[in-house]
């Protein structure tokens, strides 16, 4: 089965990001395909490289980056939601006159069209969080 994943909550405010990560990892391990992981609303906070959780806590961003590296996942952060929360790649930072990019490795910024395409291409769109 081909899944698209939508994550609407940040890594430390709700269980959704952890649950989405565990679901995605389990789906891959069981032979399913992940078409795309789309981070929306506060879910875009999973894609910032400047979050530094305590040493005894999980690092959800690093978990996603590692999973994407190992399995060539497409991790897409919604551009509008990211801009509202100060998350930018190099192009967006330049366009808005900001000093630097803060998007985490293996994440990319794009628009809602990527979510629509994922919903069309996948057999199931799984949504985590409100």
Distance CA 123, CA 2 (A): 5
Query: Residues 129, 14: contact at Cβ < 8 Å?
Result: yes
Buried-exposed string 85-105: b where 16+ CB fall within 10 A, e elsewhere: bebbbeebbeeeeeeebbbbe
**Out of 60, 73, 77, 78, which one is annotated catalytic?**
78
- Clarify whether 122 is annotated catalytic: no
What is the dihedral sign for C-alpha 121, 18, 127, 110?
A: negative
What residues form DSSP beta bridges with 126?
5
Residues marked active site are found at 78
């Amino acid at each position: 089965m081909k899944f698209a994943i939508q994550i609407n909550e940040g890594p430390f405010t709700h269980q959704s990001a952890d649950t989405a990560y565990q679901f995605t990892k389990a789906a891959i391990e069981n032979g399913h395909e992940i078409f795309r992981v789309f981070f929306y609303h506060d879910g875009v906070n999973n894609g910032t490289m400047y979050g530094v959780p305590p040493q005894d806590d999980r690092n959800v961003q690093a978990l996603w980056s590692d999973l994407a590296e190992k399995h060539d996942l497409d991790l897409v952060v919604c551009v509008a939601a990211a801009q509202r929360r100060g998350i930018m790649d190099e192009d967006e930072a330049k366009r808005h006159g900001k000093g630097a990019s803060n998007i985490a490795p293996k994440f990319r910024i794009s628009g809602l069209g990527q979510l629509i395409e994922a919903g069309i291409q996948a057999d199931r769109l799984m949504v985590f969080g409100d």
